[in-house]
């Protein structure tokens, strides 16, 4: 086994969570953010109604109708699809008899399809 073969086998995915805050949003930005959050949550709920176990199958069965129904960018529709599959498969693994699935915490997941992080030498806030 060569060094190159070892290094490719040991590769892993780095996942980074960035939490951001919008300082002093104007009324328009606030309305758009709240609308997108509501649409995203409804989209995840809609996807969950299919009891999804496969992203590909859910995409085939529900993506085009979701695109027509929800006013979300494609990346957010795909993110909602992925989140719904993860939520449902996790629920199936730990569910007990008589338990029901419901969403408790709501947040929009932005990923590489939605935006790109770039390093900048700018200070946004003092803390």
pLDDT one-digit tens code per residue, 97-113: 778 887 776 777 776 66
Match 């109604």 to its residue by tokens: 49
What are the extents of the domains in the chain?
Answer: 24-93
Q: How many CB atoms lie within 10 A of CB 58?
A: 21
Q: What pLDDT, on the 0 to 100 scale, is given for residue 6?
A: 47
Q: What pLDDT, on the 0 to 100 scale, is given for residue 2?
A: 46
- State the Cα angle at 30 between 27 and 35, rounded to 5°: 125
Q: What pLDDT, on the 0 to 100 scale, is given for residue 41?
A: 92
Of residues 95 and 75, more confidently modeled: 75
State pTM to two decimals. 0.70
């Amino acid at each position: 086994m060569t060094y190159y073969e070892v290094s490719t086998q040991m590769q892993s995915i780095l996942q980074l969570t960035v939490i951001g805050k919008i300082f002093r949003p104007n009324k328009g930005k606030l309305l758009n953010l709240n609308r997108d959050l509501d649409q995203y949550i409804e989209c995840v709920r809609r996807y969950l109604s299919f009891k999804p176990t496969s992203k590909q199958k859910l995409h085939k069965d529900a993506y085009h109708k979701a695109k027509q129904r929800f006013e979300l960018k494609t990346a957010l529709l795909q993110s909602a699809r992925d989140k719904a599959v993860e939520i449902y498969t996790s629920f199936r693994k730990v569910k007990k008899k008589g338990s029901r699935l419901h969403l408790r915490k709501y947040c929009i997941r932005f990923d590489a399809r939605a935006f790109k992080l770039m390093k900048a030498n700018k200070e946004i806030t003092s803390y």
